[in-house]
Amino acid sequence: MNGVASGTPRNAKEMTLSANWATGEGQDGEEISTTSLEFVREDAKFLNEWVASGLTGGPGIFEGVPFEIIMNSQSLFEGFVDLTSESTFIECDEVIGKLVKAQSSDWLNDTADGFSFAYLRDQGFIIDSDYITIPYVLNYRPEALIVGQLLITSFLLTKEIIQGIKDTAGAIADLLNTIGFPIEIGAILAAAVKAAAQIIYTTAIIAALIITMKDLIEQFFPPVRRYRGMYYKRMFEVGLNYLGLSFSSTIFDDPRWSKAGFLPVKSKRGGLFGNTDEYGHPNQYSAFYNFGDFIRQMLILFNADYKITNGNFRFERNDYWNSTSNYVMDSVETNQSDRLSELEYNTGEFVKNYLVSLRTDIQDQNTLENFLGTNYQVISEPKTFIVKDNVIGKGLAAVRPPVARAFRKEELTESEELLKNVCKLADSVVNLLGGSSNLASKITNRVGMMSLSSDTTSVDKMLFIDNEELDANQVTAKEIFEQWHMIESFAEVVDPRTGQTVHNQSIIQTTEKLKFCLNDWNELLDNNRFTTPDGREGEILSIDWSIFENVANIRYKIAQLYTKNIKLAFNEGE
């Protein structure tokens, strides 16, 4: 305790060392399964003094007391005594406390819920270079009445310019004719004034046309603005850095997913002229605000799990740890009392309806008008049946990432094309008269930028972006299912990521009081896969090892195809 060899807890023989890989909330290694340990004599005295030190400058009750279990010179458990959780102090002679493993999933959940991304920014763990810049343009779609007004305005101005040019030419001709003959000087001056006035009028009309075109461009083709966001990979890194952990993941080593970005809800316009808004991390309007919420949402989105080893947080799809260890499990009857082997099929994991559903954003009409790709539904059905009403299969697995899709601008809208043509006409007239105008150049394609229907959003977005340009293929619900959730299918399917044929059918067994020693524990600690004496591969779901009795209770499953009467039906519509 606290680095000093101490007395063994009074109920130490009741302790079992446990590991649980079936939760999907962290590939935890060893944990002490005994609810609490009973510390007496000098250990109890030390723990009481630890609590009292909180009044005199010491750590006090809200810091766990370091605790380690060593067997045969090997550390079996490192963690701390949590004196705040279900602890009992019996005068000075006994303290009943709970053990918590260092950097376990429970520890991570507790600590990661204790801070937000905004806090990380305030504390300097998020800096400006951690953000990515996301340019966007508004795909404004004017009503027919407004388009009509645009056409009428441009027609009238163009008509006036044409008439003005004609009248100017006539006035100049009159002036020249007047100069060519001996007439009164007053007639010459009158013709000159008439020509000058007409020139001024035509110039004014041209200026009005240019101003009108610029106003129309401003209103119908707003300038490029920029938001700030963050890459998901960087969001992991900054939060884990605060916890003293490093981050690794083959998911985000992938060239495509390494550029998966997060755009938080925006309540203000983006910046102009290369500038951005202020922050790109989740805010109070986002679906996740605290770091713990973020991790839990990522586990769901990527059908993932994590393992913390030697200060490194590894985040992977949940089949990542499927490599086989060197542990060979002895063949024993699972029911030792009756000398029988019992098993169950993992039909409890079967889901008839698997739905991946991204969100829509009422502030962004793109998500409503381009709905295809937002939902992806996979129904497991029997290939054949005798009595339809007797077909068994139920359940809904709804994967609902709290993000909307982003949309890339690919071409000009019809109204933008119309305005571009009007600007070209205006440029031609101005340049014909010796002026300089290039209004049409202001209406560019802007391919690669994000397209929004409003300067504000109400739902976080997921997008693929690199060097301020959105990828041509943005995320879809179908991609999320195929890349991360396909492996949950009970039908035989080809995994797009590995190319292997997989299925999720297996048998589950529990063996009791299996002979188990320290060497066996070491084989399984970093890898919960095993082989049977007949060469089959299995996966341990949980293990409880009685250290003093050298026996273990193990719950495990072995992949086994027990039906081929399943087919998948896909729906990518509404």
Answer for the pair 304, 316: CB distance below 8 angstroms, yes or no: yes
Asked whether 463 and 451 are in contact (CB, 8 A), the reply is no
Q: Report CA-CA distances (Å) from 430 to 162, 209, 211, 427, 436.
A: 11, 9, 12, 5, 6
Other C-beta atoms lying within 10 Å of the C-beta of residue 475: 23
Q: List, for residues 425-440, the tens digit of each pLDDT value.
A: 777 777 776 667 777 7
Q: Answer for the pair 321, 307: CB distance below 8 angstroms, yes or no.
A: yes
Integer Cα distance of 246 and 240 in angstroms:
6
Q: Residue 88: helix, strand or coil by DSSP?
A: strand
Domain count of the fold of the chain = 4
Q: Is the pLDDT of residue 325 over 90?
A: no
- Regarding whether 256 and 372 lie in a shared domain, the answer is yes
Give the span between the Cα atoms of 213 and 573, in whole angstroms: 41
Q: Are 73 and 197 within one domain?
A: no
Q: Are residues 508 and 464 in the same domain?
A: no
Task: Give the residue carrying structure tokens 């981050």.
Answer: 247
Q: Are 313 and 369 members of one domain?
A: yes
Q: Would you state the pLDDT for residue 144?
A: 54
**Separation CA 556–CA 527 (nearest Å):** 13
17, 32 Cβ separation under 8 angstroms: yes
Q: State yes or no: pLDDT of 4 exceeds 80.
A: yes
Structural domain boundaries enclosing 297: 124-138+225-317+351-409+454-486
| C-alpha dist (Å) from residue 95 to 85, 92, 109, 315 | 12, 8, 26, 37
- Residue 458, token pair as written in the block: 């109400």
pLDDT in tens, 41-74: 899 999 999 999 999 999 999 999 999 888 888 8
Alpha-carbon distance of 12 to 14, in angstroms, equals 5
394 and 375 housed in the same domain: yes
Residue 36 lies in a domain: yes
> Which among 10, 31, 21, 29 has a CA at the least distance from the CA of 100?
31
d(CA 320, CA 302): 12
Residues 6 or more apart whose Cβ sits within 8 Å of residue 517 = 550
Residue 344 maps to a domain: no
Tell me: do 543 and 471 sit in the same domain. no
Residue 24: the pLDDT is 58
Question: Residue range 277-294: average pLDDT?
Answer: 95
Burial class for 70, CB neighbours closer than 10 Å (0-12, 13-18, 19+) = exposed
pTM: 0.80
The answer to whether the beta carbons of residues 314 and 249 sit under 8 Å apart is yes
| Same domain, residue pair 214 and 290 | no
String of DSSP letters for 339-407: TB---EEGGGG--SEEEEE-B--TT-HHHHHT-TTSEEEEEEE-S--S-GGG-----EEEE--S-EE--
pLDDT at residue 147 tops 70: no
**Residue 203 is assigned to a structural domain of this protein:** yes
> Distance between CA 194 and CA 321 in Å, rounded?
90
Residue 254 lies in a domain: yes
Q: Pairing mode, if any, of strands 225-231 and 246-248?
A: unpaired
Q: Let me know whether 367 and 285 are in one domain.
A: yes
Distances (CA, A) of 122 to 279, 293, 485: 11, 19, 36
Select from 196, 202, 212, 256 the least CA-distant residue to 232.
256
State mean pLDDT over 500-529: 88
Q: Predicted confidence band at 134 (pLDDT cuts at 50, 70, 90)?
A: very high
Same domain, yes or no, for 379 and 305?
Answer: yes
Do 300 and 397 touch, CB atoms closer than 8 A? no
Dump the DSSP string for 30-72: -EE-SS-EEEEHHHHHHHHHHHHGGGTTS--TTSPEEEEEEET
**% pLDDT > 90, the chain:** 49
pLDDT digits 0-9 by tens, 449-490: 999 999 999 999 999 999 999 999 999 999 999 999 999 999
Which token pair is 154?
């441009």
- 209 and 165 assigned to the same domain: yes
Is residue 334 in a domain?
no
**SS3 annotation, 153-214:** HHHHHHHHHHHHHHHHHHHHHHHHHHHCCCCCHHHHHHHHHHHHHHHHHHHHHHHHHHHHHH
Does residue 554 sit within a domain? yes
Same domain as 362, residue 273:
yes
> Tens digit of pLDDT for each residue in 376-423?
999 999 999 999 888 888 888 999 999 999 999 988 777 677 777 777
Look at residue 341 and tell me if it is in a domain: no
Residue 507 near residue 537, CB atoms below 8 Å: no
Q: Are residues 253 and 394 in the same domain?
A: yes
Domain annotation covers residue 110: no
Going by pLDDT thresholds of 50, 70 and 90, the confidence category of residue 532 is confident
